[in-house]
């Protein structure tokens, strides 16, 4: 593979050097003849370009003879395209004046983003319609596909390290935002602004994404029920009206092999039909014992634009994944560093097979010059087939009722289930004026539902064998009463030669992991528990009204939403019952343009989130009241260098009630009285110089459980939430001299210590890791080498307790060859 990449790079380089060359130079100004800094000049056919300097001057040397399309573009100005002939001998001089772009923003994202940098200037997140981020009175962090590609990452958990106040909770699609947890199975994560699910256990490939966005704080007023910490929105790549294609091949540590393709362009001459196709294949082992990932992703997108007033879009994401479920690393009792971070409790005959699809249909139609109608529908299907050996969340017990500190009690799950999610959103947008005040009014209706059909169920084998070996008994050694009950009835248990109770599933010996990971004879287990998942159904109706008002330097965002939630318990059974909950959710935000480059903002928003369907079960202590929250946030947003570098400062306070936590030594849950999250965040994204990109962030977060279920003051820092965290990634491209065509990237992430989810007396320590990358580009070919965790730091991204720890990846590398055409 390395030889192939080197050979292809050598061929590309030889081709480029063999041409006769000339240069393209000139000066770029605005309509008032003022020089424009940071304009992108791009030769479409050569994939080669430059940026104008502070005097508006630019130069692209070594252009081979031929006819080329030259594109001049800058954020906030209309793009110009020129057909230019190069003789290969004389330089070509083009001086142009760019016209300010006052194009109407989209109501539904039909046409893809043409910006090609770490910066994204506009978003649909937070208002339903496209809005410049500088006018949105709420903090937003994001990562564009360019940043994702430069870092060589393909999982959401690796992407969120670029966001202030956001961190992983586990290996799963499981994230902490401002101290509040969200995950892919809650249906509060968004895809193109619509609620959906990605499963939970495995993070899918993200090669089909244009960007990942996080709206900080409750998004309930516009998106319905959501976490108070924020909402993650995955934005898919949309078709472009220009032909662009790319393929890449990667290989790296842990037998990693990945092939990706991205193809887009018009399907007809008048560009009313556009397409985009993203495909991905991955076959990789892991630094974790017995773990692997085999993934296939197919993501087509088609846009139909029959007229300027009507637009349609179709998206499909299909993912097929084969792997094992990794429940994390276990350590000797109370000894964090006692086992290797590669240790997994899996068995060789475990498996996790997942299949999912997400289909989206969306449209926008302009009824008049001032009134438009938009609608979107998303259908999600998720299928899970699981067999796993995992921790029973406790250590093994000896004949005296004491924990055996180097042996983990195991249980076995065999599970099969399906989930189907439907989400419909339709709304009207109207533009109007009342005297000097301009209005952009949105009113609409949302419907969302999730169904788990009949048949979804799980077999479980756990506990200890009875004396006759025909049944299973339980031991609760976490309480004095449970220990005493075991010792009193010890004769009821089968005992080994050392007088210890014999487990139904053999314990995992942390001192001899290789033998514990061998294939197991499943026929010897007694499956003593059968759990049913469904049939279940919940559905939500939501109506909302929002107005974006503009008056001089002030912009206000006012909204009100009503949600009505229904959870059907014991569906299709004799004791079927409905749990109804509703909420009225106000929102108010104000932005003030202090200077041309600085906007100040403040916002107040309320949120709610119904408890998960499983938590409504009376066996868990439910049903429970919904989570309720409110947030106050103030901040500033700035833009510099012709809007090529942006920064956000946010100060916030979030209050939430009714979070559920496990009752100690019980299967029940209980609502915690109150949680408060207070903090400061800074994000910087864009380009400092035309060839120097940067993404950086810092967050201070004091997220506490201020009251327990009885109202007692606790002030415990919330699980997996660091007080301090920061990130930096920067790339510099050399444009002249011997290092021309070479780029280098450097990055770092740090995080202070954190409490664990289910044992706040246990912590994982803080850490700092460093990453680096080298890029070499000739014409349409790029060779990229990423080296991550340079110092081979041992660290943990999160965990529940010392039985379920989630270690970070040790030092690893990735070599990628890509070709654009």
pLDDT of residue 726: 97
Helices marked H in 81-124: none
Q: Mean pLDDT lowest for which of 214-218, 303-307, 639-643, 787-791?
A: 639-643
Q: What percent of the chain has pLDDT over 90?
A: 63
b/e per residue, 242-278, with b = 16+ CB within 10 A?
A: bebebebbbbbbbebebebebbbebeeeeeebbbbbb
- pLDDT level of residue 20 (50, 70, 90 thresholds): low
- Full residue range of the structural domain in which residue 748 is found: 244-457+531-537+545-820
Are residues 770 and 624 both part of a single domain? Answer: yes
- pLDDT level of residue 203 (50, 70, 90 thresholds): confident
Residue 261 has pLDDT above 50, yes or no: yes
In a domain, 79, yes or no: yes
Are residues 614 and 713 both part of a single domain? Answer: yes
524 conformational bin, left if phi > 0, alpha if psi -120 to 50, beta if neither: alpha
Q: How far apart are CA 106 and CA 104, in angstroms?
A: 7
Give the SS3 label for residue 734: coil
φ/ψ (deg, to 5) at 632: -120, 130
Are residues 696 and 764 both part of a single domain? Answer: yes
Q: How far apart are CA 517 and CA 798, in angstroms?
A: 24
Residue 11 has pLDDT above 50, yes or no: no
Q: CATH no. for residue 638?
A: 2.40.170.20
Q: CATH no. for residue 143?
A: 2.170.130.10
In a domain, 418, yes or no: yes
Q: How far apart are CA 323 and CA 295, in angstroms?
A: 9
Summarised one tens digit per residue, pLDDT across range 694-705 is: 999 999 999 998
In a domain, 117, yes or no: no
Structure tokens at 403: 């924990």
Summarised one tens digit per residue, pLDDT across range 44-88 is: 777 788 888 878 899 988 888 888 889 888 766 788 889 888 887
Q: How far apart are CA 46 and CA 820, in angstroms?
A: 9
In a domain, 85, yes or no: yes
pLDDT of residue 173: 87
In a domain, 232, yes or no: yes
User: Considering 209, 236, 263, which residue would you say is the last residue of a domain?
Assistant: 236
pTM for the structure as a whole: 0.86
In a domain, 478, yes or no: no
Return all residues near 417 (Cβ < 8 A) that are at least 6 apart. 383, 384, 452, 455, 456, 457, 458, 533, 534
Are residues 627 and 730 both part of a single domain? Answer: yes
Are residues 77 and 137 both part of a single domain? Answer: no
Q: How far is CA 282 from the centre of its chain?
A: 19
pLDDT of residue 102: 47
Are residues 636 and 668 both part of a single domain? Answer: yes
Are residues 248 and 168 both part of a single domain? Answer: no
Are residues 767 and 797 both part of a single domain? Answer: yes
User: Considering 192, 207, 236, which residue would you say is the last residue of a domain?
Assistant: 236
Summarised one tens digit per residue, pLDDT across range 532-583 is: 887 889 899 999 999 999 999 999 999 999 999 998 877 888 778 888 888 9
Q: How far apart are CA 298 and CA 300, in angstroms?
A: 7
Q: Could you tell me if 42 and 71 are in contact, meaning their C-beta atoms sit under 8 angstroms apart? A: yes
Are residues 204 and 265 both part of a single domain? Answer: no
Summarised one tens digit per residue, pLDDT across range 323-361 is: 999 999 999 998 999 999 999 999 999 999 999 999 999
Summarised one tens digit per residue, pLDDT across range 436-474 is: 999 999 999 999 999 999 889 999 999 999 999 999 999
Structure tokens at 769: 């890791």
pLDDT of residue 649: 98
- pLDDT level of residue 111 (50, 70, 90 thresholds): low
Q: How far apart are CA 687 and CA 699, in angstroms?
A: 21
pLDDT of residue 30: 83
Q: Average pLDDT, stretch 380-391?
A: 96
In a domain, 112, yes or no: no
Q: CATH no. for residue 14?
A: 2.60.40.10
Look over the chain and give the mean of its residue pLDDT values, rounded to a whole number: 89
pLDDT of residue 3: 45
Q: Which residue has the tokens 């793009």?
A: 79
pLDDT of residue 543: 96
pLDDT of residue 14: 43
pLDDT of residue 7: 44
Are residues 722 and 760 both part of a single domain? Answer: yes
Q: How many domains does the chain have?
A: 3
pLDDT of residue 110: 66
Are residues 553 and 618 both part of a single domain? Answer: yes
Return all residues near 144 (Cβ < 8 A) that are at least 6 apart. 115, 117, 118, 119, 120, 210, 211
Summarised one tens digit per residue, pLDDT across range 637-653 is: 999 887 889 999 999 99
In a domain, 32, yes or no: yes
DSSP state of 507: P
User: Considering 236, 269, 297, which residue would you say is the last residue of a domain?
Assistant: 236
Are residues 291 and 200 both part of a single domain? Answer: no
């Amino acid at each position: 593979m390395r030889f192939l990449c080197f050979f292809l790079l050598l061929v590309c380089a030889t081709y480029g050097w063999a041409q006769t060359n000339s240069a393209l130079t000139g000066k770029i100004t605005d309509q008032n003849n003022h020089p424009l800094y940071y304009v992108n000049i791009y030769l479409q056919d050569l994939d080669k370009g430059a940026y104008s300097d502070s005097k508006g001057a630019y130069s692209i040397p070594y252009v081979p003879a031929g006819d080329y399309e030259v594109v001049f573009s800058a954020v906030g100005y209309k793009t110009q395209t020129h057909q230019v002939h190069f003789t290969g001998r004389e330089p070509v001089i083009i001086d142009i004046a760019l016209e300010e772009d006052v194009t109407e923003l989209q109501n539904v994202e039909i046409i893809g983003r043409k910006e090609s940098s770490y910066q994204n200037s506009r978003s649909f997140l937070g208002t339903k319609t496209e809005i410049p981020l500088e006018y949105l009175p709420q903090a937003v962090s994001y990562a564009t596909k360019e940043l994702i590609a430069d870092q060589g990452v393909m999982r959401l958990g690796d992407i969120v390290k670029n966001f202030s106040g956001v961190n992983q909770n586990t290996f799963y699609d499981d994230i902490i935002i401002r101290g509040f947890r969200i995950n892919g199975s809650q249906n509060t994560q968004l895809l193109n602004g619509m609620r959906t699910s990605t499963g939970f256990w495995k993070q899918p490939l993200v090669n089909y994404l244009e960007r990942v966005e996080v709206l900080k704080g409750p998004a309930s007023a516009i998106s319905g029920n959501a976490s108070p910490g924020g909402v993650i929105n995955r934005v898919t790549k949309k078709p472009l009206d220009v032909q662009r294609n790319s393929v890449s091949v990667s290989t790296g540590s842990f037998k990693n092999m990945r092939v990706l393709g991205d193809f887009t362009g018009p399907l007809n001459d008048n560009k009313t039909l556009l397409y985009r196709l993203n495909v991905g294949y991955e076959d990789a082992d892991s630094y974790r014992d017995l773990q692997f990932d085999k993934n296939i992703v197919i993501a087509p997108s088609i846009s139909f634009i029959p007229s300027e007033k009507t637009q349609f879009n179709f998206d499909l994401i299909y993912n097929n994944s084969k792997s094992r479920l990794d429940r994390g690393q276990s350590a000797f009792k109370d000894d964090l560093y006692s086992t290797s971070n590669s240790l997994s409790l899996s068995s060789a005959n475990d498996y996790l097979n997942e299949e999912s699809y997400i289909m989206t249909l969306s449209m926008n139609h302009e009824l008049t010059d001032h009134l438009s109608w938009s609608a979107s529908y998303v259908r999600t299907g998720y299928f899970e087939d699981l067999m796993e050996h995992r921790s029973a969340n406790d250590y093994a017990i000896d004949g005296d009722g004491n924990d055996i500190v180097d042996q983990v009690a195991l249980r076995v799950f065999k599970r099969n289930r399906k989930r189907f999610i439907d989400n419909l959103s339709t709304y009207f947008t109207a533009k109007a004026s009342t005297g000097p005040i301009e209005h952009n009014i949105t009113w609409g209706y949302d419907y969302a539902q999730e169904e788990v059909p009949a048949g979804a169920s799980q077999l479980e084998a756990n506990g200890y064998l009875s004396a006759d070996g025909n049944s299973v008994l339980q031991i609760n050694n976490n309480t004095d009463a449970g220990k005493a009950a075991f010792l009193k009835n010890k004769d009821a248990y089968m005992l080994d030669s050392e007088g210890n109770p014999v487990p139904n599933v053999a314990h995992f010996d942390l001192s001899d992991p290789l033998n514990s990971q061998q294939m197991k004879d499943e026929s010897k287990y007694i499956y003593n528990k059968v759990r049913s998942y469904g049939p279940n159904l919940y559905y939500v109706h939501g109506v909302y009204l929002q107005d974006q008002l503009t008056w001089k330097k002030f912009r206000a965002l006012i909204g009100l939403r009503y949600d009505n939630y229904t959870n059907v318990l014991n569906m299709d059974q004799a004791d079927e019952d409905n749990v109804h909950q509703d909420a009225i959710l106000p929102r108010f935000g104000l932005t003030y343009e202090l200077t041309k480059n600085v906007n100040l903002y403040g916002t107040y928003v309320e949120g709610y989130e119904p408890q998960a369907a499983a938590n409504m079960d009376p066996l868990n202590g439910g049903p429970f009241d919904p989570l309720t929250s409110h947030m106050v946030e103030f901040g500033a947003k700035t833009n510099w260098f012709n809007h090529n570098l942006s920064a956000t400062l946010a100060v916030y306070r979030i209050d939430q009630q009714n979070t559920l936590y496990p009752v100690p030594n019980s299967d029940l849950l209980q609502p915690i009285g109150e949680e408060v999250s207070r903090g400061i965040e800074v994000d910087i994204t864009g380009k400092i110089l035309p060839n120097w990109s940067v993404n950086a962030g810092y967050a201070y977060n004091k997220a506490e459980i201020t009251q327990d279920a009885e109202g007692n003051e606790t002030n415990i820092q919330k699980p997996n939430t660091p007080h301090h965290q920061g990130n930096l990634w920067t790339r510099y491209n050399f444009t002249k001299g011997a290092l021309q065509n070479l780029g280098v990237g450097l990055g770092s992430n740090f995080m202070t210590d954190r409490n664990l989810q289910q044992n706040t007396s246990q912590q994982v320590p803080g850490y700092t890791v460093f990453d680096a990358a080298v890029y070499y580009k000739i014409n349409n070919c790029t060779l990229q080498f990423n080296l991550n965790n340079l110092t081979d730091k041992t660290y943990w991204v999160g965990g529940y307790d010392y039985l379920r720890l989630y270690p970070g990846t040790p030092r690893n590398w990735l070599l990628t060859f890509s070709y654009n055409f």
